[in-house]
Amino acid sequence: MISVLLVEDDPDVLELTRLFLERDLELNIDACLSVKEALRKLNHKIYNVVVSDYVMPEINGIQLLKTLKFQGIDTPFILFTGKGGEDTAIEALNSGATFYLQKSETPRFQFAKLRKMIYQAALKQQTEEIYRENNICVVIPAYNEEKLIGTTLASVPDYILRIYAVDDASTDRTPEIIREYAEKDMRIMHIRHEINQGVGASITSGYQEALKEGMDIAVVMAGDNQMDPAYLPKFLDPIINRQADYAVGNRLQGVEYSKGMPTWRFFGNALLTLLTKIASGYWQLMDPQNGYTAISRRALERIDPNKIYPRYGYCNDILVKLNAYGFKAVNINHPARYNVGEKSGIRYRTYILRLSRLLFRDFLWRLKEKYVILNFHPLIFFYFFGVVIILTSILFGVYSLYLKLFWDEDLLVRAALSLLLFFMGSMFLLFAMLFDMEQERNIGW
């Protein structure tokens, strides 16, 4: 049952609206003709939604909304008015209204739309109450983001308990803007690095504060406004419902998601995604380079934030550690959000080479940690023999070619043997990957 407080100074409109809404047995309507009566009811009863007219004799609907906000009443508010245009709508939404609806000459249509908004507002409230039961923080790494850091901070939803804005030794106005927003929003903690340490180190600083303050879930959103907070619930739900410990954004699922991504960046992401699948053991992840993530407290405590790679590549490094310790990761589809004024600091020519080295080291560490120290699985032998046999086949093939070119010896038998060894080694590697994929299905809660 959804309880609705309806505020309208016109008795005929009030009665007509009440009668229509009460056709829905899921809606319980309390109607009042004045703002004073509405405030009195709100002080004695909790409502799921408030629907108010705009023009009223005492104070208008927006002033009523501001009064409720001042009193700490965050009930979803729908401004339902016959007067007022675009400016009124903007003022209402900026003041915290959930929806704005203009009355029309077709009551049946407008009341149907109002009913739909009531359901949406009630669902939004119930969802946010679930999130408020958990201590959720957002970590925002920022380096020279004076153009977009303010927009990013202002977009964080109200149900987020803490915002860690990590300024990585910015040389522009980024620290000043963060301090300005922190004065208005007590949730914001400004963390300043005196020396530039990298985005991974910035996220580590935020994670450390999250652990100190007892956060249950830590979300990472870049300071360049690329990560739409409207998708936050999708990242939080799997962790709250204990379906996963790590949620990773995915911009590559379908054309509609990746159409905003530059071609070269898409190619670089695709290549690094393949390498990360092999290194991390998360074969189902689509976009592991994505920095839009959410992690549970228990996973964060286990991987030790201090050991996260400090620069670009941190997201891949985290995945390797999470897989080694048996935490489930899931894809969260969301659209790519580019051309909002951001400027990427990644130089893909050097980044791919550097990250490839990191992934190779991480891959060897994961095999040792997961399949030798913490548990044992024969796939390590398949990987070992696969690599040894393939290298042997290549060296034997080169030697055979040398004998053919300089000593004119027969190449056919040696070439066939080289190919046979190569295919045999490839089969060993493929079986090792298959075993690794099977292991991924068994991790998680």
Same domain, 111 and 248: no
- Spatial CB neighbours of 163, under 8 Å, sequence gap ≥ 6: 137, 138, 140, 153, 156, 185, 187, 188, 189
Q: Please state, in angstroms and as integers, the Cα–Cα distance from residue 335 to each residue in 135, 226, 257, 313, following that order.
A: 26, 10, 4, 21
Same domain, 340 and 353: yes
At 429 the pLDDT is 96
Same domain, 321 and 384: no
pLDDT digits (tens, 9 = 90+) for 213-224: 999 999 999 999
**Cβ atoms 214, 221 nearer than 8 A:** no
Residue 130 pLDDT greater than 70, yes or no = yes
* DSSP single-letter state for residue 325: T
Q: Domain containing 197 — which CATH number?
A: 3.90.550.10
Q: Write down which residue in 320, 344, 370 finishes a domain.
A: 370
Our CA angle for 384, 385, 391, nearest 5°, is 95
**Cβ atoms 172, 198 nearer than 8 A:** no
**Cβ atoms 396, 416 nearer than 8 A:** no
pLDDT digits (tens, 9 = 90+) for 286-310: 889 899 999 999 999 999 999 999 9
Residue ranges making up the domain that contains 96: 2-130
Same domain, 156 and 257: yes
Same domain, 220 and 251: yes
pLDDT band at 69 (very low <50, low <70, confident <90, very high): confident
The residue assigned the tokens 């093939």 is 397
At 441 the pLDDT is 86
CA within 13 Å, CB half, 143: 19
Residue 408 pLDDT greater than 80, yes or no = no
Same domain, 87 and 208: no
Average pLDDT rounded to a whole number, residues 398-403: 88
pLDDT digits (tens, 9 = 90+) for 77-111: 999 987 767 888 888 888 889 999 988 767 778 88
Q: Write down which residue in 102, 130, 158 finishes a domain.
A: 130
Give dist(CA 126, CA 119) in Å, integer. 11
CA within 13 Å, CB half, 38: 30
At 265 the pLDDT is 67
**In the chain, how many domains are there?**
3
pLDDT digits (tens, 9 = 90+) for 352-366: 788 889 999 999 999
Q: How far is CA 382 from the centre of its chain?
A: 36
The dihedral through the CA atoms of 61, 62, 64, 69 has a sign that is positive
